[in-house]
Amino acid sequence: MLLDRSGVIDDVWTVIGEDDALPDGPAILPAARLAELAGVAHPVGVHIDNAADPRSLQPVLDRLGLISVAFPSFADGRGFSIARLLRELGFMGRLRATGPVIADQFAYLLECGFDEVSLPETVAARQPADQWLAQLDRLSAGYQRGALPGATDRGAGRQSILDQRRAASS
Amino acid sequence: MYRYDEFDHRFVAERTAEFSAQVERRLAGHLTEDEFKPLRLMNGLYLQLHAYMLRVAIPYGTLGSRQMRMLAQIAETYDRGYGHFTTRQNIQFNWPKLRDVPAILRDLASVEMHAIQTSGNCIRNVTSDPLSGVAADEIEDPRITAELLRQWSSLHPEFTFLGRKFKIAVTGSEVDRAAIAVHDIGLQIVRNAAGEQGYRVLVGGGQGRSPFIGKELRAFLPRDQILPYLTAALRVYNLHGRRDNKFKARIKILVHELGIEEYRTQVEEEYARLDADAVRHPAEEWDRIAQYFALPDLPARAEDDAGYQRALKQDPGFADWVGRNVHAHRTTGYRAATVSLKPIGGIPGDATAEQMRVIADLAEAYSADEMRVTHEQNIVLPHVALKDLHKVYRGLVGIGLDAPNRGLVTDIMACPGLDYCALATARSIPVAQRISERFGDTNRQKEIGPLSIKISGCINACGHHHVGHIGILGLDKAGVESYQITLGGEPADLPAVGERTGPGFSYEELPDAIETIVDTYLAAREGPDETFLQAYRRLGMGPFKEALYDAA
């Protein structure tokens, strides 16, 4: 199941393995095939594992339409920092969390800069989309700013309680 | 004291509702037990040996009488009439039922309390000096920083699924009463050469199975950079800390394996790179929090008080108590007083609902409505007028709260051990009780002088045994409890990890072994002014080892 803050969405991207031919459409490459990025006409994404150094993607960030970050387990939180880093490095494309994360993490994922979540069917079966969307209203505000301060139109940034206090007192 | 504003109230209410929904989703099968476990831990709910345990946060140990009375009410309504104050300035209830937990959380929220991040692999309750705002040697009240960090770390989107728990302590004085060197991050408020206030930052201290004393990460960090700098320090840990082995996942192992220089390089690089202005706290927010921690309006008092002097002469118990449990206060005519939760033969840190109410009443009447939980598991009444000290003392007599033993051999720290804890390998509480009874005589305790005994019932070291002057670690040797003894540990004054005496002792042998150590010290000390720790540092392990093992 693929979902973002609007609910379940269609996946226009094809995930490509080590030896697969490139499709005639948007493709998510394994990190090892990133060199093939140059000659491709369609949008290209990349899938990285959570031990990868996101800074290594810096030279190609503006040519990537999507970055998928692996979550081997919902309890392994490295992906949250990777997303923050990628946003801070200036990545403006889609950020996808891929793996068995849980609905209770949806707000955290969005606040760290992810746009969408790609779930294995086992998790999707137990936690249907309505449980994920319910998480969006979980907290009206936290004490930290979202990943894209000031960019609330992208839906990812949020005002922190500290910002709200300042607005209320001025 | 800090008071919630509308935003804090809403945050805690929403968090309570979220946890209630999580309990329902667990019961309905939407969450597996594996998925639910970290969620309930992040809300302070453990599954122990016999029952659930709920750990309630007491941020930096500070609370008022209405909060203490609510803890008493919760103990009576949902538990067995008592609670256990912990070595991290929190309180634990040992017998709540899962279905009652949402109601308990709502009761707590009504008095501005919660159980957020008292457990789990996240940033835990920030601890501080129990004499904050009282001590004359303080540069700044560390609770302003601690409250800022409490808010910043609460449900932090990036740092809520760390490799392991993360503990931060703050001290505002040169004399460290917050044990900052044995925390993942320790902050000491300092002034630089230009007179600006900021922090000395320690990293990678900790106890557990691999004890480390924290290393200096920064000699001086400007105050307004604390959140960006901690963000960088946590991010490096979150990305690079080990995830392959739970026992090697704390930041102390990362710092040890990388070396402090390499860890520092990575943190400084990240700190230089990130957008500090987006993370920094606004100056108004600092000022807003700081006003809550201004010293309360204490009526002017004379330096001395005739009634106090008379009571000292006429009530020897009071004189003993004043000699041990009363601390200087920065305001003329005032003192801070420690209420000992270590009655002779009692369970360290336990308090009944009745005792909690008595302490709350005394705080309301005589201590500007304020109390502090100490990491030694006692309660401090921080603002008592000299003329009221005897009334406070009389209020503590008769209900097991008057022990004149702060910092003495019976002021024992102990984890819950095998009586409650699913991780424990040996009992801790009965060990503490037997040692306490052995040394119960007040005069004997006075003769022995300052001596800390700290007991952990497994290598996770919740009883801080590594930094006890005498540390006791309970292990399981082929189904039999065996207690290792360490000597010379100290959390603050030249922090050090204790050294093992040698082979362990059985449960039955242990009180005699402790007595042998104490007798060896008394015989070898240069005079009554040389404390156990000083004598150990002068003599080394030799004479103690000899006395413990050669005679047998």
Chain A interface includes B162 (CB < 8 A): yes
Share of chain B above pLDDT 70, in %: 100
B27: left (phi over 0), alpha (psi -120 to 50) or beta: alpha
Interface of A with B (CB under 8 A): 74-78, 80-82, 84-85, 88, 102-105, 107-109, 111-112, 126-127, 131, 134, 138-147, 149, 161-162, 164-166, 169
Number of A to B CB contacts under 8 A, please give it. 114
Q: Are strands B52-56 and B91-93 parallel, antiparallel or unpaired?
A: antiparallel
Burial of B98 (0-12, 13-18, 19+ CB in 10 A): middle
Non-local (6+) Cβ contacts of B498 within 8 A are: B465, B466, B467, B468, B469, B470, B471, B486, B487, B488, B489
Neighboring chain B residues of A105 at a CB cutoff of 8 Å: 161
Pick from A80, A140, A144: which is nearest to B161 by CB?
A80
For residue B151, what is the nearest residue in chain A, using CA coordinates? A143
What is the per-residue pLDDT for A87? 93
The minimum CA-CA distance between B42 and chain A, rounded to whole Å, is: 12
Mean pLDDT of B305-309: 97
Cβ <8 Å between A145 and B32: no
The CA distance from A114 to B141, in Å, is: 39
Which residues of A fall within a CB distance of 8 Å from B161? 74-77, 80, 105, 108
- Average pLDDT on B355-378 reads 97
Name which of B8, B161, B282 is nearest A166 (Cβ-Cβ): B282
Predicted-assembly ipTM surpassing the 0.85 threshold: yes
Instruction: Select from B18, B160, B275 the Cβ nearest to the Cβ of A77.
Output: B160
CB spacing of B235 vs A75 below 8 angstroms: no
Cα torsion B403, B409, B413, B414: sign: negative
Please give the torsion angle defined by the CA atoms of residues B35, B40, B46 and B50, in that order, rounded to the nearest 10 degrees.
Answer: -80
The CA distance from A26 to the nearest CA of chain B, in Å, is 29
Summarize pLDDT for A20-52 with one digit per residue, the tens. Answer: 998 999 999 999 998 888 878 899 999 999 999
Three-state SS for A38-85 is HHCCCCEEEEECCCCCHHHHHHHHHHCCEEEEECCCCCCCHHHHHHHH
Quote the pLDDT of residue B551: 64
The residue among B160 and A157 whose pLDDT is bigger is B160
Q: What is the pLDDT of residue B552?
A: 53
B301 touches chain A (CB under 8 A): no
3-state secondary structure of B321: helix
- Helix, strand, coil percent values for chain A (each to nearest 5): 40, 15, 45
> Chain B closest CA to A56's CA: distance in Å?
14
Nearest CA in chain A to B156: A144
Q: Which residue is closest to A132 within chain B, CA to CA?
A: B30
- Encoded tokens for B244: 């392959």
More confident residue, B485 or A144: B485
* pLDDT of B209 higher than 50: yes
Mean pLDDT of B375-395: 97
- pLDDT tens digit string along B443-471? 999 999 999 999 999 999 999 999 999 99
Q: Which amino acid is at B464?
A: H
Contact B279 A164 (CB under 8 A): no
Q: Are strands A116-118 and A2-4 parallel, antiparallel or unpaired?
A: antiparallel
pLDDT, residue B49, reads 76
Handedness of CA A144, A149, A150, A151 (dihedral sign): negative
| Over residues B319-341, mean pLDDT | 97
Q: Among candidates B428, B362, B377, which has minimal Cα distance to B84?
A: B377
Burial B330-345 (b: 16+ CB within 10 A, else e): ebebbbbbbbbbbbbe
Neighboring chain B residues of A78 at a CB cutoff of 8 Å? 238-239, 243
What's the mean pLDDT in B296-314? 96
Look at residue A149 in the predicted model and tell me its pLDDT.
44
Element (H, E) at B203: strand B197-203
Q: What is the mean pLDDT of chain B?
A: 95
Nearest by CB to residue B22, choosing from A104, A108, A111, is: A104
Tell me the torsion sign for CA atoms B378, B473, B237, B496. positive
User: Would you place residue A148 in the very low, low, confident or very high pLDDT band (cuts 50, 70, 90)?
Assistant: low
Residues of B in contact with A166 (CB under 8 A): 282, 284-285
User: For B60-201, where are the alpha helices, taking DSSP H only?
Assistant: 65-78, 101-110, 142-153
Split at pLDDT 50, 70, 90, the class of B258 is very high
Contact B285 A162 (CB under 8 A): yes
Kindly list the residues from chain A whose CB atom is less than 8 angstroms away from the CB atom of residue B157: 80, 107-109, 111-112, 142, 144, 146-147
CA dist B400 and A24 (Å) reads 80
* Pairwise CA distance, residues B104 & B114, whole Å: 9
Task: Report pLDDT digits (tens) over B419-434.
Answer: 888 899 999 999 999 9
- Residues in B touching A138 (Cβ below 8 Å): 14, 18
Strands B52-56 and A14-15, by their bridges, are unpaired
Angle at the Cα of B27 from the Cα atoms of B22 and B33, rounded to 5 degrees: 75
C-alpha distance from A93 to closest chain B C-alpha (Å): 20
The verdict on a CB contact (< 8 Å) between B238 and A80 is yes
pLDDT of A158 higher than 70: no
Task: Tell me the chain A residues in contact with residue B158 when contact means C-beta distances shorter than 8 Å.
Answer: 77, 80-81, 84, 108, 112, 144
Residues of A in contact with B154 (CB under 8 A): 142-143
For testing contact with chain B, the best of A165, A169, A170 (most B CBs within 10 A): A165
What does the block give as tokens for A60? Answer: 């190609």
Q: Flag if A139 and B159 touch (Cβ within 8 Å).
A: no
Q: Give yes or no for residue A156 having a pLDDT over 50.
A: no
Q: Which of B7, B151, B160 sits opposite A108 (nearest CB)?
A: B160
> Are B285 and A165 within 8 A, CB to CB?
yes
Taking the CA atoms of B450, B455, B459 and B464 in sequence, report the sign of the dihedral they define: negative
- Tell me whether strands B127-128 and B62-63 are parallel, antiparallel or unpaired: unpaired
Q: For residue B503, what is the enclosing H or E element?
A: none
Asked whether the beta carbons of residue A111 and residue B239 sit closer than 8 angstroms, the reply is: no
Chain A residues in contact with B163 (beta carbon < 8 A)? 77
